[in-house]
């Protein structure tokens, strides 16, 4: 019987998750080591916590002991298999799942990256940052401003000078 | 890691108003690091806001240059953002056919640029004193009469082809174009441009070739008396443009300590006119033609149509743009 950990969101909702799922968060892993199985997370809303738990559940299944069927392919593909679980960076199914997971608007991504950082879930932080970078790639300055609500704080002269300096970059192949 | 992020009480509403406003610089730089593979993304980001501009130039461009360029060319740590921006551009940006001088007309073997623009010979009433300030003949009227004569005109007509001696088709003396009233200047001369169509982009763009510069390439370009000058050129073959008639291997590069180089001394001593061909990598609006200043190896000649096999232009900051038209003899 897997040990269960209880997570309590900022708005009072309780979530019972398997230990290995909760341990995707280094912070929770450390707290539980002090024999504390109920972990209040006052700064994380239930909406965001649900999403984070979903991510952790998926990744725990792949990150579990290498002999489990779901991760054996990943273990074979991974170059660093000396640790107890392998990083499934080359697992295409998991990557596809991750890509679906981050199909969220910017404000949801922001909430998730804040929570993931708070809970110290490095892979999730990296996934969100990667997603943001993808939303910048190939875009012109004006599009980037629109996408992320960034104010154009240049004077017309500064903007013109930057345009002249960087116009070589304005074409896409 | 917790310190990189704002307080987790930042709300979604706040974020929707400005995603990046509440992210610390560490995090923003982590995002920028993921854009390294295409230099255009950084360059476009530098145009978004002042925060991105300073991060991209001071951090991203600097890390790229430190990785790809020889330490010799890196500015001191106190260098401003513009220095890194210029250097980054030198690494990744092809000057394009325009800044490499490919679009300049070469059929006159560069004579016009050496000795002045075309002018009609003076009329019989010419007086050399009319060029100076003369109350009876104000300068503007003298100019419009095209009655100023100088040494350059003598040189030109000494060398112009005399059709009576030819067995082939005669070359007629070149007539000045209508309205061509400006006086001779040994300063900026606007180069003529070809009008034939070009296949690819003529302006600066992301280079297809390597991002590294090497002195080995620079040494292949310069005449042997300049062997002590440090010219770094991008690795062969640079950015290749296959045009209708000819293939151009565009290169870019930079002199280390240009003002202390022998090339600089040469072009300064010769007092050769700059041409109004802007540098692709900085704000210089004029450059010197290294080919007509005899700074390039003499073995590089011309094609039958007068186009030089290799051309190169240098600005006052030592930035070089140029083009090969065939595989060099040394490789």
Count of H-run helices and E-run strands, chain B: 12, 9
Identify whether residues B186 and B211 lie together within a single domain: no
Number of Cβ atoms within 10 Å of the Cβ of B322:
28
Of B50, B66, B67, B58, nearest in space to B85 by CA: B58
- Comparing CA positions, the residue from B105, B134, B147, B136 lying closest to residue B277 is B105
Residue B258 lies in a domain: yes
The answer to whether position B330 is within a domain reads no
Interface size A-B, in CB pairs within 8 Å, comes to: 133
In a domain, B318, yes or no: yes
Question: 149-168 in A: which are within 8 Å (CB) of B?
Answer: 149-154, 158-159, 162-163, 165-168
- Is-contact B54 A162, C-beta < 8 A? no
- B37 and B153 in a single domain? The answer is no
Answer yes or no: is B216 within a domain: yes
% helix, strand, coil for chain B, step of 5: 35, 15, 50
How close, in Å, is residue B8 to chain A by CA atoms?
6
Can you state the percent helix, strand and coil of chain A, rounding each to 5? 60, 10, 35
Residue among A125, A152, A165 minimizing CB distance to B49: A152
Domain boundary among B173, B192, B211: B192
Structural domain boundaries, residue B275: 94-103+202-325
Q: Which among A108, A133, A144 is the nearest to B34, CB-wise?
A: A133
SS3 category, B93:
strand
Interface test mutation site (partner B, options A110, A112, A152, A173, max chain B beta carbons within 10 A) = A110
CA gap B113, B106 in Å, rounded? 10
- The ipTM estimated for the assembled molecules is 0.80
CA atoms within 13 A on the CB side of B64: 31
**B235 and B99, same domain (yes or no):** yes
Q: Does A68 touch chain B (CB under 8 A)?
A: no
Are B33 and B158 contained in the same domain? no
In a domain, B6, yes or no: no
Q: What is the largest CA-CA distance in chain A?
A: 68
Cβ neighbours, 10 Å, residue A27: 16
Same domain, B208 and B250: yes
Q: What is the pTM of this model?
A: 0.72
Q: How far apart are CA B177 and CA A123, in angstroms?
A: 69
Element (H, E) at A125: helix A122-136
Question: Does any domain span residue B311?
Answer: yes
Please tell me whether residues B206 and B320 are part of one structural domain.
yes
In a domain, B243, yes or no: yes
Same structural domain for residues B152 and B283?
no
Say whether both B98 and B233 belong to one domain. Answer: yes
d(CA B146, nearest CA chain A) in Å: 38
User: Tens digit of pLDDT for each residue in A49-84?
Assistant: 999 999 999 999 887 644 444 444 444 444 443 333
Distance CA A168, CA A162 (A): 11
B36 touches chain A (CB under 8 A): no
Which residues, 6+ apart, have CB-to-CB distance to A14 below 8 Å? A6, A7, A8
Residue B81 lies in a domain: no
- Check B15 against A140: CB less than 8 A apart: no
User: How far is the CA of B74 from the CAs of B59, B80, B253, in angstroms?
Assistant: 14, 12, 13
Paired with B94 in beta bridges are B205
Using alpha carbons, select from B261, B126, B252, B250 the residue that is nearest to residue B198.
Answer: B250
Pair B276, B188: CB distance under 8 Å: yes
Interface of B with A in 139-198 (CB under 8 A): none
Which residue of A lies nearest to B16 if distances are taken between CA atoms? A107
User: Chain B contact for A133, CB < 8 A?
Assistant: yes
**Cα–Cα distance measured from residue B160 to residue A119, given in angstroms and rounded to the nearest whole number:** 82
Number of domains in chain B: 3
Q: What is the pLDDT along chain B (331 residues), one digit of tens a residue?
A: 444 665 544 444 444 457 888 888 888 999 999 999 999 999 999 999 999 999 999 999 999 999 999 998 998 877 788 889 999 999 999 999 889 988 876 544 444 444 444 454 544 443 333 333 444 444 444 333 334 444 455 445 445 555 444 444 444 444 445 554 544 444 444 555 555 667 677 889 999 878 999 998 888 899 999 999 999 999 888 888 888 778 899 999 999 999 999 999 999 887 776 899 999 999 999 999 998 888 998 888 888 888 889 999 999 999 999 999 875 444 4
């Amino acid at each position: 019987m897997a040990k269960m950990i209880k997570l309590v969101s900022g708005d009072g909702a309780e979530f019972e998750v398997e230990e290995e799922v909760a341990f995707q968060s280094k912070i929770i892993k450390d707290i539980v080591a002090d024999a504390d199985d109920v972990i209040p997370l006052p700064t994380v809303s239930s909406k965001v916590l649900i999403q984070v738990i979903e991510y952790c559940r998926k990744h725990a299944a792949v990150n579990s002991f290498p002999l489990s069927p779901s991760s054996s392919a990943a273990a074979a593909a991974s170059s660093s298999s000396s640790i107890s679980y392998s990083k499934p960076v080359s697992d295409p199914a998991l990557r596809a799942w991750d890509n679906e997971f981050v199909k969220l608007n910017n404000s949801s991504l922001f909430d998730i990256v804040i929570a993931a950082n708070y809970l110290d879930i490095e892979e999730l932080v990296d996934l969100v940052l990667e997603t943001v970078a993808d939303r910048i790639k190939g875009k012109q300055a004006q599009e980037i401003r629109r996408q992320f609500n960034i104010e154009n704080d240049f004077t017309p002269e500064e903007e013109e000078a930057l345009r002249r300096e960087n116009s070589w970059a304005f074409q896409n192949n | 890691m917790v310190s990189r992020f704002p307080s987790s009480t930042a709300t979604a509403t706040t974020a929707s108003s400005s995603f990046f406003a509440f992210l610390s610089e560490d995090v923003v730089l982590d995002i920028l690091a993921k854009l390294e593979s295409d230099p255009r993304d950084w360059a476009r980001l530098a145009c978004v806001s002042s925060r991105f501009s300073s991060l991209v130039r001071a951090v991203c461009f600097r890390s790229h240059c430190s990785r790809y360029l020889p330490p010799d060319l890196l500015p001191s740590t106190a260098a401003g953002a513009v220095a890194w921006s210029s250097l980054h551009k030198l690494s990744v940006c092809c000057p394009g056919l325009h800044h490499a001088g490919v679009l300049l007309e070469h059929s006159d073997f560069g004579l016009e640029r050496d000795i002045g623009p075309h002018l009609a010979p003076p009329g019989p009433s010419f007086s050399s004193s009319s060029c100076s300030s003369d109350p009876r003949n104000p300068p503007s009227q003298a100019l419009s009469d095209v009655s100023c004569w100088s040494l350059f005109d003598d040189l030109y007509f000494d060398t112009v082809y005399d059709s009576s001696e030819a067995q082939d088709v005669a070359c007629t003396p070149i007539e000045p174009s209508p309205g061509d009233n400006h006086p001779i200047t040994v300063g900026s001369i606007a180069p003529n441009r070809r009008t034939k169509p070009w296949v690819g982009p003529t302006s600066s763009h992301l280079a297809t070739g390597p991002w590294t510069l090497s002195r080995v390439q620079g040494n292949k370009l310069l005449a042997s008396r300049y062997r002590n000058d440090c010219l770094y050129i991008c690795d062969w073959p640079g950015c290749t443009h296959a045009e209708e008639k000819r293939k151009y291997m565009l290169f870019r590069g930079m002199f280390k300590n240009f003002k202390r180089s022998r090339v600089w001394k040469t072009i300064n001593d010769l007092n050769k006119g700059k041409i109004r061909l802007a540098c692709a990598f900085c704000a210089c609006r004029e450059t010197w033609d290294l080919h007509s200043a005899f700074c390039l190896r003499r073995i590089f000649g011309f094609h039958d149509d007068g186009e030089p096999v290799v051309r190169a232009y240098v600005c006052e900051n030592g930035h070089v743009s140029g083009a090969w038209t065939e595989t060099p003899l040394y490789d």
